[in-house]
Structure formats: C-alpha cells, structure tokens
C-alpha cells in the first residue's frame, strides 16, 4: 500500500498510509489508528473507507517512537507492546502530527472538507481534533478516556459523532453516563450506545466483532460525514 511523507510543524518526517478513492468527488478523511499501529486491520479500514468515497490518509503516529509498528492484538505480548507505545505517546504532539495530515489535504484544495475518524486511541484523538482544529467533522469509534476531554459546558467545536459499546470494559457504565451527559451539552455531538457490544465491535475478524452493529455504525457515520 502506498505511503507518503508528511512534514510536521516541528520538521519531523511522518510516514502516512495514503489510500485514494476512485471517486472523482472523494472527500478527505484523516484515519486514526488503534494502539496496534498501521496493521492489517487499519489497512483494511483504509481500503474500506476509500471504497466508500473517501481520500484516506492514515499517519503512523508511533513513528516518533518506532516506525512501521504492525501488531496483532490477539497476541498477548504484542497487545502489551501496543499499550506501552500508547503510554509513551505524547497525545498533544500526536494531535499536531494529525494536523499535518489535515494541512496536506488543505494544500491540495480540500481544507474545508477534511474529516477525521479513529478507533480506540484514535477515537480519543478524533475528539481532540474536533476540539482543537478546523475540521468538518469527527467520528469516534469506542474512544477511550473521553470523559477527561469532553467539556462540562457548551463549547465551540467541530461536529463529532460518538459510537459507544455498551459492554466496553474500558468505559464502565458510570463513565459512559458522564460521556453521554457531556455530549448532550454540545450542539452537534450525537452519541450512540450499541447494546450488547464490546470494545472494537467494528473491527472485522476481531474477538468482539458484531456485523449488525458495525453496519449500523457505518450507516450513521456515512450520513454524518456526508451531511
């Protein structure tokens, strides 16, 4: 799959998977990884969103620590490696790196249309992008730690869609209620809870994959990003 190099605000050369769409009117989408790097699941996701009519750019956010991370979440040692990489990440720095992807699209004349979409860690970073930069919309799939980010009062931010798994062990019920209450304060922050679903319910082939929920989330996401 084709990679390009983005130059960040501090001059770092950041690799990014680029998956263009065959659609002439493709909309730009910054795709944000889980804690497992740009692995097979993220490459499949990039291809799937490109097939839906998006020009996809997925930065390698672990490149500052280790370039080319490709982990299998079913392997306990690799799972722990992903956690260690996440803990070693400066998330504010990661958001600025993601802004290099937004600006790459802007330099290609599509700045006002850039959306962001992420899973797990990426779901958290997508919300951070919505709160801090001029993107058209953000989508968070089972984002973690959102209760720490979301304002407790109405604020100016990009429209942001939340997909939340009811049985997500990383988002216990009391945390979920905080997230839902704070989402309701914002003008455009719809939040959907997927009953009976666990974390990563939209990752094909994953332990908790739920095709029905994934299809519903896809339908909602497409309507939101294209709206």
pLDDT digits (tens, 9 = 90+) for 74-118: 999 999 999 999 999 999 999 999 999 999 999 887 767 899 999
In this predicted structure, what is the pLDDT of residue 111? 67
Could you confirm whether 210 is annotated as catalytic?
no
Given a contact cutoff of 8 angstroms between Cβ atoms, the answer to whether 55 and 28 are in contact is yes
Could you confirm whether 199 is annotated as catalytic?
yes
For 29-77, write each residue's pLDDT tens digit.
999 999 999 999 999 999 999 999 999 999 999 999 999 999 999 999 9
Give the pair of three-digit tokens for residue 172: 């216990």
- Quick check: pTM over 0.95? yes
In the set 168, 198, 208, 210, the catalytic residue is 168
191 CB-contact burial (10 Å; exposed 0-12 / middle 13-18 / buried 19+): buried
């Amino acid at each position: 799959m084709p990679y390009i190099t983005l130059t960040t605000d501090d001059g770092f050369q950041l690799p990014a998977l680029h998956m263009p769409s065959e659609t002439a009117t493709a909309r730009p989408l910054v795709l944000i990884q889980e804690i497992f790097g740009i692995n097979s699941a993220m490459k499949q996701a990039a291809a799937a969103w490109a097939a839906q009519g998006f020009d996809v750019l997925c930065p390698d956010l672990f490149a500052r620590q280790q370039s080319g991370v490709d982990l299998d979440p079913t392997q306990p040692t690799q799972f722990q490696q992903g956690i260690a990489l996440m803990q070693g990440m400066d998330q504010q720095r990661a958001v600025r790196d993601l802004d290099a992807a937004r600006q790459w699209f802007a330099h290609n004349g599509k700045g006002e249309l850039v959306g962001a979409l992420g899973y797990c860690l990426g779901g958290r970073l997508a919300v951070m992008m919505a709160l801090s930069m001029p993107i058209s919309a953000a989508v968070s799939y089972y984002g973690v730690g959102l209760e720490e980010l979301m304002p407790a009062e109405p604020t100016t931010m990009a429209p942001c869609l939340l997909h939340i798994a009811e049985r997500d062990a990383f988002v216990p019920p009391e945390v979920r209620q905080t997230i839902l209450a704070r989402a309701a304060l914002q003008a455009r922050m719809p939040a959907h809870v997927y009953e009976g679903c666990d974390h990563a319910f939209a990752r094909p082939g994953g332990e908790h994959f739920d095709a029905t929920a994934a299809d519903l989330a896809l339908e909602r996401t497409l309507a939101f990003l294209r709206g």
